[in-house]
């Protein structure tokens, strides 16, 4: 996978959910809304320390490893970074300190360094688990390097194609990278693995809207409304808003009114804002 060297930068907002008992993280953006951002977490369970490989200074590496894990458990990022760097220098064939460094950099908001650290870990050990690739993709998203985020999510999906959440993340990455056709294919992969995956249906709907396949988009957003959400923070009113905007484009007043009623089940204020935007003749502000 191609990647920038050392980095471009800018930081976006929102944290993501942690995937599986302490292993990594993945994107959980609300589909029909603006691009969100997330803070990569470490790809290792800090309660389980890895075995030390025999190296020239095994005792010192073992001590540094213990210090690094203790510092990160205590949220002492500066000390954790310092000892992780020394650990990496003493044992340059171990990718673990670089993954820990990526986490520490993320907690400090330095996503350029997050990308550099994860890429160094991948250079040392190309056989990384999907959470490393997904966390790298999150960092690229935060830096608005959506083309690289697509590549990283695609690699995670390639390693573990049975995981529907990664395909959803890839759908969103394709949308952010202005690739609606690829987003539709990624959403379909997620839906094949989890038929009622509400966020994946909404992502598919957003991609269909960009391709002006509005009738198909209506079906997708209705499936999102009826589906089950995989992310507790998902704004279900957003599914109704997206449906309403499609009806607005189709000049279907009955559908717009149905959407207003649907939104109001979750937020009367949001329903009123949507009604005002439609009456003002605006387009979907999130597109």
Tokens matching residue 17: 């959910």
Share above pLDDT 90 across residues of the chain, in percent, rounded to a whole number? 56
Per-residue pLDDT reduced to its tens digit, 231-268: 888 999 999 999 999 999 999 999 999 999 999 999 99
Per-residue pLDDT reduced to its tens digit, 169-200: 999 999 999 999 999 999 999 999 999 999 99
pLDDT > 90? residue 282 = no
The span from the CA of 223 to the CA of 197, in Å, is 9
Any idea what the CATH number is for the domain that residue 42 is in? 1.25.40.10
Residue 31: what pLDDT? 27
Per-residue pLDDT reduced to its tens digit, 95-115: 989 998 998 898 888 999 999
pLDDT > 60? residue 228 = yes
Mean pLDDT calculated for residue range 147-156: 97
Which has the higher per-residue pLDDT, 19 or 109? 109
The span from the CA of 14 to the CA of 251, in Å, is 34
Q: What angle do CA 21, 26, 27 make, to 5 degrees?
A: 140
**Confidence class for position 35, pLDDT limits 50, 70, 90:** very low
Out of 160, 193, 212, pick the residue that ends a domain: 160
Q: How is 114-150 classified by DSSP, letter by letter? A: HHHHHHHHHHH-S---HHHHHHHHHHHHHTT-HHHHH
Q: Which domain holds residue 271?
A: 235-287
In a domain, 211, yes or no: no
Tokens matching residue 42: 């470490």
In a domain, 181, yes or no: no
Which has the higher per-residue pLDDT, 54 or 162? 162
Mean pLDDT calculated for residue range 70-86: 83
Mean pLDDT calculated for residue range 277-282: 82
Average pLDDT, the chain: 81
Cβ-count burial 147-161 (b if 16+ within 10 Å, e if not): ebbbbbbbbbbebee
Residue 58: what pLDDT? 72
Taken in order 199, 205, 206, 208, the sign of the CA dihedral is: positive
Out of 160, 184, 216, pick the residue that ends a domain: 160
Residue 76: what pLDDT? 82
Number of domains in the chain: 2
pLDDT > 80? residue 41 = no
> Does residue 111 share a domain with residue 10?
yes
Residue 54: what pLDDT? 52
> Does residue 257 share a domain with residue 156?
no
In a domain, 129, yes or no: yes
Which has the higher per-residue pLDDT, 211 or 84? 211
Residue 55: what pLDDT? 53
């Amino acid at each position: 996978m191609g990647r920038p060297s050392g980095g471009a930068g800018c930081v976006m907002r929102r944290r993501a959910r942690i995937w599986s008992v302490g292993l990594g993280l993945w994107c959980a953006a609300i589909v029909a809304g603006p691009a969100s951002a997330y803070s990569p977490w470490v790809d290792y369970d800090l309660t389980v320390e890895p075995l030390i490989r025999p190296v020239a200074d095994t005792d010192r590496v073992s001590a540094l490893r213990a210090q690094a894990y203790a510092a990160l458990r205590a949220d002492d990022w500066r000390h954790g970074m310092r000892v992780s760097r020394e650990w990496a220098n003493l044992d340059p064939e171990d990718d673990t300190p670089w993954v820990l460094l990526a986490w520490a950099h993320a907690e400090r908001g330095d996503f350029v360094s997050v990308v550099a650290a994860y890429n160094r870990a991948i250079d040392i050990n190309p056989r990384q688990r999907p959470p490393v690739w997904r966390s790298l993709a999150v960092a690229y998203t935060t830096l608005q390097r959506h083309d690289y985020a697509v590549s990283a999510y695609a690699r995670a999906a390639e390693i573990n194609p049975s995981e529907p959440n990664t395909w959803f993340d890839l759908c969103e990455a394709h949308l952010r990278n202005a690739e609606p056709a690829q987003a539709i294919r990624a959403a379909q992969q997620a839906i094949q693995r989890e038929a009622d995956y509400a966020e994946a249906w909404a992502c598919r709907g957003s991609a269909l809207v960009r391709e002006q396949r509005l009738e198909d988009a209506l079906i997708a957003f209705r499936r999102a409304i009826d589906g089950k959400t995989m992310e507790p923070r998902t704004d279900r009113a957003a599914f109704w808003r997206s449906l309403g905007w499609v009806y607005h484009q189709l000049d279907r007043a009955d559908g717009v009114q149905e959407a207003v009623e649907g939104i109001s089940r979750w937020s009367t204020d949001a329903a009123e804002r949507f009604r005002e935007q439609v009456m003002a003749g605006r387009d979907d502000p999130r597109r």
